[in-house]
């Protein structure tokens, strides 16, 4: 069973492929059968809900790697849960209720991250948990719907940042250790407040909204290293 490609985008931070997740258990298993043997064994060890998202993420990663000309070999997972890719390739996987996505990039020193969110209002307000005071102040004056969309965008950006940052710091990074201020046109101003003083880092974020989702990507490298 070939994956149902939801989107295939060449972005500033890499090639990003989205896969629509199958709903029926039989379709999930059919998609898992397309993976390499090691991945397939891992997939069938998981309960169906987790198998669905994990398999979709791996299928998206295989599609993204193929579009960069790399063979669809099994993708290992490191001790932090990130995909292990060929030398000179960085990548990241994300998934939500109905979609999984993977981004890969030809990078030697930088790391990348991707996050996808459903562009719908949440049932509860997460601003106090994920935003710094200055970020929350930027949202004053917005109506409830507008504020919720802006909170979601910042949440997504921080998720992408943390995935790209993890190979450097190798620890859990709290949401409030980053400040993100999205800009029109799909960029964002990012200010780190890393409690352990790691870095300095050059952090780039790009975002877009389309087809009912929010897609954000991040690229991070240590300052002073070649691109």
pLDDT at 124: 86
Is 202:221 a contact under the CB 8 Å cutoff?
A: yes
pLDDT, position 175: 97
- Give a yes or no: residue 103 inside a domain: no
Last residue of a domain, one of 58, 92, 126: 92
Residues 67 and 143 placed together within one structural domain of the fold? no
Would you state the pLDDT for residue 36?
87
Q: How far is CA 135 from the centre of its chain?
A: 21
Token code pair at residue 184: 């029109």
CATH number of the domain encompassing residue 138? 3.90.470.20
Give a yes or no: residue 47 inside a domain.
yes
Alpha helices in the chain (DSSP H): 25-32, 37-44, 48-67, 127-130, 133-138, 144-169
Same domain, yes or no: 61 and 135 = no
For residues 170 and 33, what is the distance between their CA atoms, to the nearest angstrom? 32
Whether 119 and 82 map to the same domain: the answer is no
- The pLDDT tens digits of the residues spanning 169-198 come to 999 999 999 999 999 999 999 999 999 999
Quick one: 46 and 129 in the same domain? no
Are residues 226 and 109 in contact, defined by beta-carbon separation less than 8 angstroms? yes
Residues of the chain with pLDDT under 50: 226-227
Contact 31, 59 (CB under 8 A): yes
Assess whether 77 and 126 both reside in one domain.
Answer: no
Specify whether 124 is located in the same domain as 191: yes
Same domain, 131 and 216: yes
What sign results for the dihedral spanned by CA atoms 202, 126, 216, 91? positive
Determine the pLDDT at residue 227: 47
If asked whether residues 142 and 213 sit together in one domain, one would say yes
Q: Give the domain extent around 27.
A: 4-92
- Cα separation, 157 vs 64, in Å, equals 21
Give the integer Cα–Cα distance in Å for 85 and 75: 6
- Whether 150 maps to a domain, the answer reads yes
Supply the pTM of this predicted model. 0.93
What is the number of domains present in the chain? Answer: 2
Q: Write down which residue in 61, 92, 123 finishes a domain.
A: 92
Residues 120 and 86 in one domain: no
State which of 34, 60, 92 marks the end of a domain. 92
Residues 76 and 83: beta-carbon distance below 8 Å: yes
Is the residue at 163 inside a domain?
yes
Asked, for residue 109, whether it belongs to a domain, the answer is no
The whole-number pLDDT of residue 123 equals 78
Let me know if residue 73 belongs to a domain: yes
Same domain, 179 and 213: yes
Which of 65, 78, 63 has its CA nearest to residue 106?
Answer: 65
* Contact (CB, 8 A) for 115 and 157: yes
Indicate the length of the chain as a whole number.
Answer: 227
- 210, part of any domain: yes
């Amino acid at each position: 069973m070939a994956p149902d490609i939801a989107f295939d985008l060449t972005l500033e931070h890499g090639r990003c492929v989205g896969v629509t997740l199958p709903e029926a258990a039989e379709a999930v298993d059919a998609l898992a059968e397309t993976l390499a043997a090691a991945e397939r064994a891992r997939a069938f060890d998981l309960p169906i809900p987790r198998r669905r998202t994990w398999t979709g993420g791996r299928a998206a990663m295989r599609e993204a790697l193929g579009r960069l000309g790399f063979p669809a070999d099994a993708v290992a997972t490191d001790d932090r849960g990130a995909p292990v890719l060929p030398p000179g390739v960085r990548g990241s996987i994300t998934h939500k209720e109905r979609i999984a996505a993977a981004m890969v990039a030809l990078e030697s020193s930088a790391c990348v991250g991707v996050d996808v969110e459903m562009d719908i209002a949440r049932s509860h307000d997460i601003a106090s948990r994920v935003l710094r005071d200055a970020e929350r102040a930027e949202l004053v004056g917005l109506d409830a719907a507008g504020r919720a969309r802006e909170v979601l965008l910042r949440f997504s950006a921080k998720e992408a940042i943390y995935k790209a940052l993890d190979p450097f710091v190798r620890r859990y990074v709290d949401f409030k250790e980053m400040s993100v201020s999205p800009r029109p046109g799909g960029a964002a101003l990012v200010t780190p407040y890393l409690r352990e003083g790691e870095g300095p880092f050059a952090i780039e974020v790009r975002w877009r909204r389309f087809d009912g989702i929010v897609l954000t990507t991040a690229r991070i490298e240590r300052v002073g290293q070649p691109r």
